[in-house]
Structure 1
Amino acid sequence: MAVPGKKATKQFTLSTTSICSEEDLKVYCQPCDRDGPRLPAHGYCTNCSEHLCETCFTFHRRHTLSRHHTLQDKTSMPQTMSPANPGQLDSFTKPCPKHNIEMIKFYCHDHSALICSVCVTLEHSATSCKVNYIPDISGETINSKEYQNILKAIIDLTERSDTTLKDKKKCFAESNKSLKDVLTDIKKFRTRINRRIDELERQVVEAAKVIQNDNSKNLTEIETVYGDLSKSLKSFSDDIKHFNTSKKANDLFIELKHAEQMIKHYDQSVAKLSESEVKTYTFQPNKAISSLFDKEKSIGILKGTALNLHTKSRQYSHKEKICIKTSRDNKSCLIAGMTFLAPDLLIITDYENIAIKIIDLSEKSVLVRQCLRLDNWNLTSSSKHEPSFQLRQNYLPLPGSKPWDVTLVSQNEIAVTLPLRQTIQFVSVSRKSLTKKHNLKVDGNCFGINCHKDRMVVSFSRPGKIQILLIDGTVLLTIRGENIFKNPLYITSNDNCIYVSDSEMKTVTKLNWHGEVKGKHVCTETPLGLSMTEDSSVFVCYSTNMIIEEILGDCTKGRVVVKDTRRSNALYWSTETCTLYTSTRSYKENDTEDNNYIHILKFL
């Protein structure tokens, strides 16, 4: 057998006379030529554009993937090897990711997968999948619409990448500029602290100097008193001694009596001076200041605010709409919530018709509809005479309550708010079914809901509040207050923040996951549906104004991205496809037809 990638030897030591040297054969079996000795051609496959030996010819008739190919026998086959034919399959150079020694040669339409022959045998058999041999269908791609769309998508993505790079450069430049200001602010703050500490130090030093001056003054006064006393006592002593020596009895008598009175007076003065208090001092630091520096680990923190620099405003290139009304809908639709299950599956809640619907966006033009009726959530057969629509729809009535908002909990599970029942209903979903699971009773009329990782954020109306819950219903945090929320109807979130629209306060409020308000955008109209973008800005639609606005992540300002649209109730932004999906809403009896459509806006 020939080694792949090397030319087979010209002579083979085999017993059969049907094997010839490559010099003798002008038309030979191409599959065998790649892996072994060159064998004479017995026929030709027009689909594969290959000559086949007798064994390959027979196998070609029987194999699932090639049994419908057009074969020519030895008499009708081409008698020369076309320059395009030799080594055609050698153009397969992409190895299979699962089977590295095999090349990708087939395409499975059901799984949108490029596969090898081993994959076909093990995972994509003809009984379960629609599989095509790539050469059979690849010719259709030359200058095809798919080719043009992919090129356009590449150009669009390249432009968006260039724009994003420019924006990020501006962001980093702005960030570095802000950090220069931060360093200046740190020095200013430290200077202010030093100045205050110096001021407090001067106060204590001045107090100590005042005491020192008082001590000096008091000591001087005491020394003066003691000096005068000492002089007076010495004078009395001298006089008494003199009168006693000179035997002047009268003078001595008078002086003794006088001295006696003076001794009593001086004795009181000495006693008074001895009782006067003199203190020693120690420095006792301010406990508040001392403990502050002991406990604090930083002089301050660096607080970041997301930048939202755009070289140009978002603009949509085209729009289309999809009808979502079914024959089972008794009323005009009112789409209150929407989310994505997969890139081509949009889940919506129809408030007026009390239903959940799944729309297959990839098959808008395919007349396929599958309806499931669930009476008390038990499966019953659907009508065989159900008319077709330009989309595939699955339909799940929710008896007894109108569904408002919906969020994706996992790849095959959603959660729907039922405000009138004060319940969150969990539903299992797939491309062909909707099945009720457990429900979660909550303590209020729950409207907006958004699940992020293992946490749900739910809004409640009158009284207005927000709750952060685990999937099992454990309440982690409740945020309430008339100055914050009154009638919050929609919520969206990501790793860093939560946005809430309040129709009564006419605000879009930004919170962190600790419940702290980080920003608030005051709207001129009544805000409803929300959907966050990749850069933490948020789209918002209004019930009374025919616009869709994009509010920057810091809530400082908003800009109109869609004008003159129908009033909208719910929307969803797909970052992957740069597409905005919106519902429409009208209460006028003669103007409700457009409520039955989802509008799709493709942005540049």
Structure 2
Amino acid sequence: MAKTGRGDIKVNERFLTCGLCSQWFTQPRTLPCLHSYCENCLSKHIHDYIAKSSVKKGSQTAHPTEYVCPTCNKAIDVSKFSSQSAKNWTTKFPLNTFLMDLLDVELLMRGEKTCGPCTRNGDRSDVVSWCKECRDGLCKNCSKVHRGMRVSMDHTVLSKEEFMKHVSLLQEQQEPCQKHPGKTLDMYCMTDRELCCPNCVAEEHRRCDRVVSVMDAVKQSRLDKTPEFLKKNLEEYNEHIEKVIASRTNKLLSLDEQKTKLIDEFAQIRINVINILDKMEKAIKKELSDIHSGETKAMEKEVSKSRKIQSAVTNAHELLNVTENHGSDSNLMKTIEEVKRECLWYEEEMGKLRSKIQDCEYVFEIDEHIETLLNKVKKYGDLKVRHSPSKLQPFPNTVTIEKSIEQGKQFKSTLSLKGRKAELAKAFDAKMEDDIKDCWYTGAAFLSDGRFVLVDRSNRKLKLFSKNYRLLNSIFFTTKPWDVTVVGENEIAVTLPEEHGIQLLTTGDSIKMSDYFTTEEACFGIKHVRGKFFALCYDGKPPALKVISSDGRELAAIGVDDDGSPLFSRPIYVTSNNAGTVIFVSDERRGCITCLTETSEHCYTYSTIDLSHVAGITLDREGNLYVCRNHAKSVQVVTPEGDRIKTIVSREEITYPRAIAYDEKEDRLLITQGDKSVVKIFQFE
């Protein structure tokens, strides 16, 4: 923490340093996510980001339309100036003079602050005084010049000591207006919720009836305890995030332990297999030795007997030769008769031996289980990740709910006798040449870039259109689709009730199927928000709203009230606010809209809005609900509280409205018609 000086200013040093260079701020620029960086650091980072994210398409270069904060990774919309240079991007983010003032005070307390004019001129001088209006430190010479110049002669110049005694003067210095140099933001528009200077009020807020001074706005904010409310929420967020971090950290340690345990288990499997193979190898080696010993002994006996007979044959042969050459005739005849007799014995004995002699060779037939191990077993086993819902409490949504209530209160004044008006901007035929049947569009959704998709149930197609209503692509399903919802920037999901499936698709230059998962029951209406799907199953007992994770796991089913009675009869369309805490379901059979408000994870309170012939529904940026009343041939708007209803599109402009989608960027409605292929676009004034 910084040192506590006069005036009790206490600021964390990290709060005054750039997140990119880790040095004291120099001309800090603040992003919408509230993170600040030195102007030069931010410009360099944006330059590198543009170079990395730009895509060449032929001779043209497509620059990114979003800039990601280097600290929190929040995507910031820069589409209005994406084609400009990095320096121009930087100047679009406001200069944070408050941080500059805090840094000046910190450096003054440290004795490190130098004269502003001298520093800007490349010199370095100690600060001796402070100009309240210029918010700048001055050395002795510059202070004298400052008092003598006509433009600054009336400025309040305090000595360094006087300023340090009254550092609370910072609270009197309002933010400068970026649009009108020399003016300060000392007014606040309660309607548009933004700071403004007198010129801003005259130019942009002259029709606003709730423009007050910043002092009055702060006074009211303190009476409402808004700072305490927000600080409490931020503390709750921090506590929740700490729990998430602790949970994830513990789980990381647990996963590391599981990994080590599995690696040891794999090694043990190998050791066990090797031990078994060693035992089998020893056994078969012994068996081979025993067989080899038996076979060799038998053959050695045969060789020995053959050699003995051979010795006798050799002896008889030599005796016959000697007798023939040197013996008498009687000796020869005697030897001949004896050799004949012995030859008979030789033939008999060798014949017996020959009949017993067999050639042999060792043949090894591998056991079928070992062969399976060698040839068919390709891995130790199946390694899977088993996911289960976290036991962490849901993230607090108090500000989101507060904002919805606040917007609802504000909207009461906008629905006057005139109210919002929606004028027909475009009517176009969405039928394709190869469509065999009449089109029946049961689902529609706008993508973030202004393109939109239509679900043609009759022709089993999903059709992608440009924001200028030109057909770009289509994809065919084997079964009839029902509804569509946006999942990500270039990702959507389509329900396929007949096959109990939800098909995810990418919507880049063309439509491509990606992931797919099945559901226990047929799903019709669908809405994706904050990583989960709300899907309607009206064939179930009872009909229910299913909460499904992004990987297809059913997290909850809401189908009965506190008394156990069914909440729905034939729910067909669903929508929700951006936080997923307020859900609207249109019930075709009961002719009503059921509103579910989350009180804790997967626990809801409910209320109903009685209408007849309800079909498609959608919410606008203010939280107003638009309801297609099919057979009533109209579209009605309902306030967030559900206490005021107004027809926004009448039967003279639409017939049998079925699906409806809201384009937040262009503030327009897309409405399909159940009896024709013509789709209509209504623009709000």
1:560 aligns with 2:588: no
Counterpart secondary structure, 1:517? coil
What residue identity is the alignment partner of 2:574? G
Alignment equivalent of 1:277, drawn from 361, 386, 391: 361
Partner deviation per Cα, 1:54-99 (whole Å, 9 max, x = no partner): xxxxxxxxxxxxxxxxxxxxxxxxxxxxxxxxxx999444233467
Counterpart secondary structure, 2:641? strand
Q: 1:372 and 1:485 mapped to 2: Cα distance?
A: 38
Q: Retained in 1: the 8 A contact 2:187–2:197?
A: yes
Q: Retained in 1: the 8 A contact 2:189–2:196?
A: yes
Counterpart of 2:44 in structure 1 is none
- Give, in angstroms, the shift of residue 480 of structure 1: 7.2
Scaled by the length of structure 2, the TM-score of the pair is: 0.46
What residue identity is the alignment partner of 2:374? N
1:548 aligns with 2:632: no
What residue identity is the alignment partner of 1:163? E
Evaluate the alpha carbon distance shift between residue 142 and residue 231 of structure 1 in structure 2; reply closer, same or farther with a 3 A threshold. Answer: closer
Alignment equivalent of 1:489, drawn from 505, 525, 529: 525
Counterpart of 2:232 in structure 1 is 159
Q: Retained in 1: the 8 A contact 2:439–2:458?
A: yes
1:114 aligns with 2:195: yes
Counterpart of 1:363 in structure 2 is 413
- Give, in angstroms, the shift of residue 259 of structure 1: 2.0
Q: Retained in 2: the 8 A contact 1:489–1:503?
A: no
Q: 2:253 and 2:194 mapped to 1: Cα distance?
A: 52
Q: 2:256 and 2:170 mapped to 1: Cα distance?
A: 65
Alignment equivalent of 1:148, drawn from 223, 227, 232: 223
Q: Retained in 2: the 8 A contact 1:532–1:573?
A: yes
Counterpart of 2:154 in structure 1 is 34
1:475 aligns with 2:563: no
* Matched residues, number: 437
What residue identity is the alignment partner of 2:413? E
Q: 2:293 and 2:546 mapped to 1: Cα distance?
A: 76
Q: 1:438 and 1:170 mapped to 2: Cα distance?
A: 49
- Give, in angstroms, the shift of residue 177 of structure 1: 3.6
Counterpart secondary structure, 1:34? coil
Q: 1:414 and 1:105 mapped to 2: Cα distance?
A: 43
1:130 aligns with 2:165: no
- Give, in angstroms, the shift of residue 411 of structure 1: 8.4
Q: 2:171 and 2:153 mapped to 1: Cα distance?
A: 11
Counterpart of 2:374 in structure 1 is 286
Evaluate the alpha carbon distance shift between residue 135 and residue 173 of structure 1 in structure 2; reply closer, same or farther with a 3 A threshold. Answer: closer
Evaluate the alpha carbon distance shift between residue 180 and residue 258 of structure 1 in structure 2; reply closer, same or farther with a 3 A threshold. Answer: same
Counterpart of 1:256 in structure 2 is 343
Counterpart of 2:85 in structure 1 is none
Q: 2:532 and 2:182 mapped to 1: Cα distance?
A: 48
Q: 1:233 and 1:489 mapped to 2: Cα distance?
A: 96
Q: 1:218 and 1:532 mapped to 2: Cα distance?
A: 83
Partner deviation per Cα, 1:326-358 (whole Å, 9 max, x = no partner): xxxxxxxxxxxxxxxxx95x9xxxxxxxxxxxx
1:599 aligns with 2:648: no
- Give, in angstroms, the shift of residue 476 of structure 1: 1.8
Q: 1:214 and 1:95 mapped to 2: Cα distance?
A: 97
Evaluate the alpha carbon distance shift between residue 493 and residue 233 of structure 1 in structure 2; reply closer, same or farther with a 3 A threshold. Answer: same
Counterpart secondary structure, 1:154? helix
Counterpart secondary structure, 1:488? coil
Counterpart of 1:309 in structure 2 is 392
Partner deviation per Cα, 1:353-398 (whole Å, 9 max, x = no partner): xxxxxx98273475542535549849xxxxxxxxxxxxxxxxxxxx
- Give, in angstroms, the shift of residue 489 of structure 1: 1.0
Evaluate the alpha carbon distance shift between residue 524 and residue 551 of structure 1 in structure 2; reply closer, same or farther with a 3 A threshold. Answer: farther
What residue identity is the alignment partner of 1:170? K
Q: Retained in 1: the 8 A contact 2:188–2:217?
A: no
Q: 1:11 and 1:320 mapped to 2: Cα distance?
A: 49
Counterpart secondary structure, 2:154? helix
Q: Retained in 2: the 8 A contact 1:95–1:104?
A: yes
Q: 2:485 and 2:146 mapped to 1: Cα distance?
A: 73
Q: 1:170 and 1:321 mapped to 2: Cα distance?
A: 27
Q: Retained in 1: the 8 A contact 2:574–2:585?
A: yes
Counterpart of 1:212 in structure 2 is 285
1:450 aligns with 2:523: no
Q: Retained in 1: the 8 A contact 2:175–2:185?
A: yes
Q: 1:457 and 1:409 mapped to 2: Cα distance?
A: 12
1:503 aligns with 2:538: yes
Question: Highest CA radius of gyration, 1 or 2?
Answer: 1
Counterpart of 1:104 in structure 2 is 185
Counterpart of 1:50 in structure 2 is none
What residue identity is the alignment partner of 1:307? S
**RMSD over aligned Cα atoms:** 6.3
Evaluate the alpha carbon distance shift between residue 312 and residue 600 of structure 1 in structure 2; reply closer, same or farther with a 3 A threshold. Answer: farther
- Give, in angstroms, the shift of residue 107 of structure 1: 5.4
- Give, in angstroms, the shift of residue 232 of structure 1: 3.6
Counterpart secondary structure, 1:104? coil
Counterpart secondary structure, 2:522? coil
Q: 2:455 and 2:410 mapped to 1: Cα distance?
A: 23
- Give, in angstroms, the shift of residue 200 of structure 1: 3.6
Q: 1:257 and 1:225 mapped to 2: Cα distance?
A: 25
Counterpart secondary structure, 1:310? coil
Residue ranges of structure 1 left out of the alignment (5+ in a row): 15-30, 37-87, 323-342, 347-358, 379-399, 429-435, 553-557
Q: 2:509 and 2:300 mapped to 1: Cα distance?
A: 91
Alignment equivalent of 1:521, drawn from 526, 538, 556: 556
Counterpart of 1:17 in structure 2 is none
Residue ranges of structure 2 left out of the alignment (5+ in a row): 1-129, 157-168, 324-330, 429-437, 561-567, 644-685
Q: Percent identity?
A: 9
- Give, in angstroms, the shift of residue 276 of structure 1: 1.4
1:94 aligns with 2:175: yes
What residue identity is the alignment partner of 2:345? H
Q: 1:583 and 1:201 mapped to 2: Cα distance?
A: 70
Evaluate the alpha carbon distance shift between residue 481 and residue 12 of structure 1 in structure 2; reply closer, same or farther with a 3 A threshold. Answer: closer
Alignment of 1:567-578 (within 5 A): none
What residue identity is the alignment partner of 1:286? L
Counterpart secondary structure, 1:130? coil
- Give, in angstroms, the shift of residue 261 of structure 1: 1.5
What residue identity is the alignment partner of 1:599? E
- Give, in angstroms, the shift of residue 490 of structure 1: 1.9
Counterpart secondary structure, 1:477? strand
What residue identity is the alignment partner of 1:264? G
Evaluate the alpha carbon distance shift between residue 148 and residue 424 of structure 1 in structure 2; reply closer, same or farther with a 3 A threshold. Answer: farther
- Give, in angstroms, the shift of residue 214 of structure 1: 3.6
Evaluate the alpha carbon distance shift between residue 261 and residue 493 of structure 1 in structure 2; reply closer, same or farther with a 3 A threshold. Answer: farther
- Give, in angstroms, the shift of residue 491 of structure 1: 2.0
Q: 2:629 and 2:148 mapped to 1: Cα distance?
A: 82
- Give, in angstroms, the shift of residue 453 of structure 1: 1.4
Q: 1:504 and 1:94 mapped to 2: Cα distance?
A: 59
Alignment of 1:46-445 (within 5 A): 91-97=172-178, 103-105=184-186, 112-115=193-196, 120=199, 124=200, 126=202, 129-130=205-206, 137-138=213-214, 140-141=216-217, 143-144=219-220, 146-149=221-224, 151=225, 153-233=226-306, 236=309, 241=315, 253-270=340-357, 272=358, 275-278=359-362, 286=374, 307=390, 309-310=392-393, 361=411, 363-364=413-414, 366-372=416-422, 374=424, 377=427, 407=445, 409-410=447-448, 437=469, 444=480
Partner deviation per Cα, 1:542-562 (whole Å, 9 max, x = no partner): 85897837599xxxxx64331
Evaluate the alpha carbon distance shift between residue 438 and residue 126 of structure 1 in structure 2; reply closer, same or farther with a 3 A threshold. Answer: farther
Partner deviation per Cα, 1:498-525 (whole Å, 9 max, x = no partner): 453333244626354xxx5344534445
